[in-house]
Amino acid sequence: MQKFPHHYAVTATTSRDANVDLGSDGLPRIDSAPPAEFGGPGDRWSPETLLVAAVADCFVLTFKAIARASKFDWNALTCAAKGTLDRIDNVTRFTEITLHVVLDVPPGTDEQKAMRFLEKSEHACLITNSLKSSSHLDATVRIAN
C-alpha cells in the first residue's frame, strides 16, 4: 500500500439535456443520471446507487484483504446493500445502509471465526467510516456440505 494521503480524481461532464459522463484516468467511463425517485429515467447509475455500491464494494474488498492476511479459506461472498435516503431537519441524506451478506465457506470452517471476519470487515470499511449514516450488518455463514 502507498503512503497516505491518497488522492482520487473524477470528472463529471454534462450538457443541458444529457446524462452525466463520469470519468477517471485509466478507468471506463460511467453514464449517470438522476434516479427515478428524483424524476430521472431510473436506468442509469445515479449518485445514490453509486454511493450504496461503494459501501458494498468496500465491504467485499475489505473482507478479501482481511481473509487473505489471516489465511482464511472461503468460497464465495455476496453483499446486497440497501441504503435509506430520508429528509431529516430539512436535509436530505442517507440515514442508514444495511448490508445483507452471505459467506460460503468449506466444510470444517469455524463459523464464529468467519462471522468475526465479517464483522471486522464492516468496522474496517473506509467508505462506511466516511459516512454520517449508520451501518448495519445482517450476515449469514453457509458451510458447504
Share of the chain above pLDDT 70, in %: 100
- Please, what are the domains in the chain? 47-143 (3.30.300.20)
Predicted TM-score (pTM) of the model is 0.94
Contact at 8 Å (CB) between 110 and 118? no
pLDDT digits (tens, 9 = 90+) for 93-131: 999 999 999 999 999 999 999 999 999 999 999 999 999
Question: For the segment 11-29, what is each residue's pLDDT rounded down to a tens digit?
Answer: 999 999 999 999 999 999 9
In the predicted structure, residue 145 carries a pLDDT above the cut 90:
no
* Cell representation of residue 115: 462471522
Q: Residue 104 in contact with residue 144, Cβ under 8 Å?
A: yes
pLDDT of residue 52: 98
Buried b (16+ CB within 10 A) or exposed e, 44-79: ebbebeebbebbbebbbebbeebbeeeebebeebeb
Question: pLDDT tens, 61-95?
Answer: 999 999 999 999 999 999 999 999 999 999 999 99
Angle between the 47-70 and 111-124 helix axes, to the nearest 10 degrees?
130
